[in-house]
Chains A and B, each alone.
Chain A
């Protein structure tokens, strides 16, 4: 079963109930450090990086039996549905008869990402099927629609000129990966926005370049911190927002510069895709 939008406390209750008759529980977690749960039998925690390692793979394939329960805790870390890690997980899941999948948000940035979760609960039977053709995958849903709330920041003509100049400099350098361009330009906009930060509010930036106590990074910022720089990927944004019982919102500092417009549209698009999945599940 796929459980969407659950808090730690709710996950704990589900795990306790599901593992009553289990002999062995293996929790594969996407986060670097595991969230700890209790069960009536021993629990083994394996991080994302461990999943593909020979030293765990063959041992786990021997140890996992039909009495085992596999728990995938926030395991969606890449959009590549056929990646080695997901393939290894499927090998583990096929050996056990029960698999619980916990994911706070149902996608990374595309509606097709939901198929990764579907593959896990169907033991791979849905592989090769796209979202539109997905049938019979029922998730237990707690909706986590997020909103993008723009916090306008005034900028001067000089700021706009600085932005254009720095953007031109970025585009004039040799470019190996064009997909890194918006991330680089977003830092230029972040530098402009930082001038308007108030000392009373908490902000979150891509890195610690501002060296101010109220401008934190995605590793340690509170969920309600105002977004100064967008993170490098939607996964980081979702890690930042996930876990709470309330519906989070993205408070985005917006200068009106094109890069901010791009990111606001990008996250609105993700929110729209999520709504589609929630609505489909509620039908």
Chain B
């Protein structure tokens, strides 16, 4: 294991291991900040980060927060993993398990395009009861509550923002790694939050989000888990057993526009979770059936009964079930180019109910047309 600096898009190997470097970063955070909160998701990266921070807290006889924003519709294994992390060093842990109402996109249904997690009055069909020691009511001032987009409603990131605003001069630790995607690399590298610390972002009220594992690779994470005999979500083992690629092995929510593919395998892994989810929300069986279908949810191939992506897009827009969300798409599409390349991506947004624009559209001239014109001139 070696550390890589992210001051350019290229990984530069140095003589220090990523483990030593991350432990130095964690020690620096403990020296610098009196209040530390680790965000956990139940995945492998946050497991490693939480363990590393808790071990440091234990050495220093300090208490740190473990923050989990519960989306309700998650694997049961994720919940077990969170309970495990919360109980790892109980004397050093401040439990911050947030189970409050917020909206989540449901990519599997246009009729029920949003899930209101932990919705009041629906406790009989909640995926599971709330934890006895969780935070069950918003801990922020409701009058000062901020919402990024009122059309979309109070969502996941609003819950995070408002929770963060309840704190000041706090270091929020997050287990993202630059190697995972260009977006994450940019999040890790674009800002310098304080002298010498380029692996973090300044937030409001003197808060800061820090990424101590930003230069870790996939293999570094698994090695740490193995060497420290940590427990990890069973989902990883099941995903590995059925032959999913390294980039597909991930634990996340089950229904939003980037994670719905998990529904295809869910009945095999956790039949009871799948059963509860079917009762909780519309579209789950459809997601299970077509989550990896190139002509349906992946929008890779044009369905046979449409001549072009443009016609398919128009059809989807015309028949879009949620009248309240329809104008969001219409406004967005009116600002974009009208070609098959863009239309395919628009179809994907419509099929996956992506009114939040989380699957951004590459708005450019159709590259296919350019190639065809090139060959027309050459031949």
Interface positions of A (Cβ within 8 A of B)? 167, 171, 175, 178-179, 181-182, 185, 258-259, 262
Contacts and interface: CB of A to CB of B under 8 A. Distances in A.
A167 B375 CA distance: 11
Interface string B346-379: 0000000000000000000000100110111011
Given A167-B379, A171-B376, A182-B375, 5 more contacts: A178-B371, A178-B372, A178-B375, A182-B379, A185-B379
Contacts of B378: 182, 258, 262
Q: Which of B371, B372, B375 has the most CB of A within 10 A?
A: B375
A262 B379 contact: yes
Contacts of A171: 372, 376
A203 to B, nearest CB: 22
A181 B368 contact: no
A171 B374 CA distance: 12
A104 B304 CA distance: 44
A183 to B, nearest CB: 10
Contacts of B379: 167, 181-182, 185, 258-259, 262
Contacts of B374: 178
Contacts of A262: 378-379
Interface of B: 368, 371-372, 374-376, 378-379
Contacts of A258: 378-379
Contacts of B372: 171, 175, 178, 181
Nearest to B371: A178
A18 B178 CA distance: 44
A130 to B, nearest CB: 13
Nearest to B377: A258
B301 to A, nearest CB: 10
Nearest to B245: A84
Nearest to B370: A178
A272 B374 CA distance: 23
Contacts of A185: 379
Contacts, number: 23
A72 B51 CA distance: 46
A179 B376 CA distance: 11
A258 B371 CA distance: 17
Contacts of B376: 171
11 contacts: A167-B379, A171-B372, A175-B372, A178-B368, A178-B374, A179-B371, A181-B372, A182-B375, A258-B379, A259-B379, A262-B379
Nearest to A168: B376
A184 to B, nearest CB: 9
A37 B14 CA distance: 46
Nearest to B243: A54
B306 to A, nearest CB: 12
A178 B376 CA distance: 10
A103 to B, nearest CB: 29
A258 B376 CA distance: 10
Nearest to B378: A262
A181 B379 CA distance: 9
A259 B378 CA distance: 7
Contacts of A167: 379
Closest A-B pairs by Cβ, 8 of them: A178-B371, A181-B375, A185-B379, A178-B372, A259-B379, A258-B379, A262-B378, A175-B372
A258 B377 CA distance: 9
A81 to B, nearest CB: 18
A185 B372 CA distance: 13
Contacts of A181: 372, 375, 379
A259 B368 CA distance: 20
Contacts of A182: 375, 378-379
B242 to A, nearest CB: 13
A250 to B, nearest CB: 20
A167 B378 CA distance: 12
Nearest to A257: B379
A190 to B, nearest CB: 14
Nearest to B373: A178
Nearest to A189: B379
A144 to B, nearest CB: 28
A175 B376 CA distance: 12
A178 B366 CA distance: 12
A181 B368 CA distance: 12
A262 B372 CA distance: 15
A185 B376 CA distance: 10
Nearest to B374: A178
Contacts of B375: 178, 181-182
A133 to B, nearest CB: 13
A101 to B, nearest CB: 27
A125 B375 CA distance: 38
Nearest to B302: A176
B10 to A, nearest CB: 9
A188 to B, nearest CB: 10
A179 B370 CA distance: 12
